[in-house]
Amino acid sequence: MVFTVIVPIFLLLFLGYLSVKLKILVKDQTNAVGTFVIRIALPALLLHSLAEKNLHEIWIPSFFWVYTAVTFLLYCLALYLSRQYFRNSLSGSAVLALGAAMSNTGLIGTAVLTMLMGHAAMTPISLVVIIESVLLVPTVMVLAQLGRQSDLKVSAIAIRTVQTLIKNPLFMSVVIGISLAALELKIPHQIDEVLTLLGHTASPLALFSIGGGIVGLSLRYVNLQSFYLVASSNILMPLLMFLGLSYLTELDQDMVYAGTLIAALPMPTIFGMLGQAYGISEKTLTPLLMSTIFGFMVTIGLITVWWS
């Protein structure tokens, strides 16, 4: 089981890396592949998987609240340290703290967990997507905008955030999928077939795009702040998640393992994108690369221990 999951992961990552390194594709093209996964393939997979489930199979409050509590505990701690100890601006601190408390659920999480759990993986993934897209990322955006434009009203920022969410295919696919499950409505067969075909491309293309995205990243800004962000993201988060899900809930073993594995994943690509948008790319790209390497090591270790 371990090798049937690990080997394809590394081969797809290496294939994406090699394609860009040998100039078979340019990096922008592999980035476009990642965009296709996030905006088309993954929403299709989530919509298809969630719509065919019952609501009680999707909505697991204990998982949701533990994952939310750990996420915001680490985010608030990182925000405080970034502002008070590392002396970053409010905007910079809001963005940097994201790296300490968010995983690459969409691209890597979907690819890895579907290989391990099949469609059952969509339940924890959809819950984490809600936490990240509805709670965490909007919090980051509000704080970052307040830091950049202190005179901007919170209500105006909130309206922009809601508009962004509505335009987000990943978020909307979860909302529609859960709504269909709650109403016990089925997607028409022809449409569901299209969603299935698109969804099958999500895992391999996600790993391929991550491999291509590594090319060109460097470790030029390795410092204490980078080490802290990686340690929080890839050590503290999975550790606290495992303890919380194990001792504060009555979830089955698969859900505990799935939540822990998602928490251990590398930082999300949006971390680097926001770093560029707010002029701190040198402070985000280095920990992003460090987390990509170390996060995969932790993830593979957990898979080896739990799924061997």
Q: Confirm if 259 and 241 have CB atoms less than 8 A apart.
A: yes
166 burial type by CB count under 10 A (0-12 exposed, 13-18 middle, 19+ buried): exposed
Q: What parts of the chain have a pLDDT lower than 50?
A: none
- Residue 249's pLDDT is what? 95
| Segment 138-170, tens digit of pLDDT | 889 888 888 766 555 666 767 777 777 788 888
Instruction: Give the end-to-end CA distance of the chain in Å, rounded to a whole number.
Output: 6
Within 13 Å and on the Cβ side, how many CA atoms surround 258?
Answer: 26
What DSSP designation does 222 have? -
What SS3 state is found at 138? Answer: helix
CATH dotted code for 2-306: 1.20.1530.20
Rounded Cα distance, 280 and 237, in Å: 24
Question: Where do the domains of the chain lie?
Answer: 2-306
DSSP letter string, 141-192 = HHHHHHHH-TTS-HHHHHHHHHHHHHT-HHHHHHHHHHHHHHHT----HHHH
Average of per-residue pLDDT values in the chain: 88
221 is written with which tokens? Answer: 């800004």
| Segment 199-253, tens digit of pLDDT | 888 888 888 888 888 887 777 778 899 999 999 999 999 999 999 999 999 999 9
The residues near 258 (Cβ < 8 Å, ≥ 6 apart) are 113, 117, 121, 124
